[in-house]
């Protein structure tokens, strides 16, 4: 009996691991090369690991503002071009997985407030939208209303990070997510706390990302 216990424990752990994040498509096709380059850009900009732990993206996150500007893995956009709430289009290179029916959530965060060198207000929560689906561009629901980027004077370039999340339990039902108590630090106590803590608290795992840079014209 005693010697069976570790085996059962191992099976339990494996079972839990399998119940974890949604299926990831096998590596090796063109889509995944694109996804690995997303991850490489996130690391280069130190979004991994400063904002979010390392992960393999499998969803493309296409965010377009009403001005036509699009976040493009580290392009620079003027704050005046991102004032209105953007459209989000999520896409994935998979057809048969339950992942295609899951409810996705998109969040935007600024880890560089007031500046990248002095992130004492960070992170600032700019947006949380849920009920985002892969298939359609149908209406999303805001958990935290869109608050446009407004980097202060003389604070250099800010990274504005857009993350797409899936429920770790793979549910296809709408999610009941907590609304952060504040935008600063996402309502948490300390500097640097933000989207990672909020996602953990809400049972969400990152599945895709995009980002751009913005700065005040007075530097």
Ligand X SMILES: *[C@@H]1O[C@H](CO)[C@@H](O)[C@H](O)[C@H]1NC(C)=O
Binding site for ligand X (CB under 6 A): 62, 64, 70, 87, 89, 98, 101, 130-131, 141, 143, 167, 169, 171, 174-176, 202-203
Q: Dmax of the chain from CA atoms?
A: 72
Name the residue nearer to ligand X (CB basis): 113 or 164: 164
How does DSSP classify residue 80? G
Closest approach, Cβ 171 to ligand X, in A, equals 4
Name the residue nearer to ligand X (CB basis): 50 or 60: 60
Structure token digits, residue 160: 């504005």
Closest approach, Cβ 172 to ligand X, in A, equals 6
Closest approach, Cβ 1 to ligand X, in A, equals 32
Name the residue nearer to ligand X (CB basis): 122 or 202: 202
Give the dihedral of Cα atoms 192, 189, 128, 163; nearest 10 deg: 20
Which among 98, 92, 59 has a CA at the least distance from the CA of 205? Answer: 59
Name the residue nearer to ligand X (CB basis): 176 or 189: 176
Integer Cα distance of 155 and 145 in angstroms: 24
Closest approach, Cβ 49 to ligand X, in A, equals 23
Integer Cα distance of 43 and 34 in angstroms: 14
Name the residue nearer to ligand X (CB basis): 155 or 202: 202
Structure token digits, residue 154: 């003389």
Integer Cα distance of 50 and 196 in angstroms: 9
CA 117 → CA 3, 85, 156, distances in Å? 54, 28, 9
Closest approach, Cβ 203 to ligand X, in A, equals 3
Name the residue nearer to ligand X (CB basis): 64 or 75: 64
Closest approach, Cβ 185 to ligand X, in A, equals 21
């Amino acid at each position: 009996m005693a010697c069976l216990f570790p085996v059962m424990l191992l099976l339990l752990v494996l079972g839990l691991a399998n119940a974890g994040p949604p299926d990831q498509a096998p590596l090796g096709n063109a889509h995944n090369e694109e996804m690995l380059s997303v991850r490489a850009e996130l690391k280069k900009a130190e979004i991994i690991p400063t904002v979010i732990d390392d992960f393999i993206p499998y969803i493309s996150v296409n965010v377009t503002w009403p001005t036509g500007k699009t976040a493009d893995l580290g392009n620079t956009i003027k704050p005046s071009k991102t004032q209105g709430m953007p459209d989000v289009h999520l896409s994935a290179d998979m057809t048969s997985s339950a992942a295609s029916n899951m409810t996705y959530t998109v969040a935007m965060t600024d880890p560089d407030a007031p500046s990248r060198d002095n992130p004492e207000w960070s992170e600032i929560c700019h947006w949380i939208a849920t009920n985002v689906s892969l298939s359609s561009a149908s209406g999303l629901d805001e958990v935290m209303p869109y608050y446009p980027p407004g980097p202060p004077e003389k604070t250099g370039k800010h990274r504005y990070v857009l993350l797409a999340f899936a429920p770790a339990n793979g549910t296809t039902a709408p999610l009941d997510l907590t609304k952060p108590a504040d935008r600063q630090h996402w309502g948490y106590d300390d500097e640097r706390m933000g989207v990672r803590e909020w996602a953990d608290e809400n049972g969400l795992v990152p599945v895709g990302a995009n980002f751009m840079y913005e700065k005040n014209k007075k530097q």
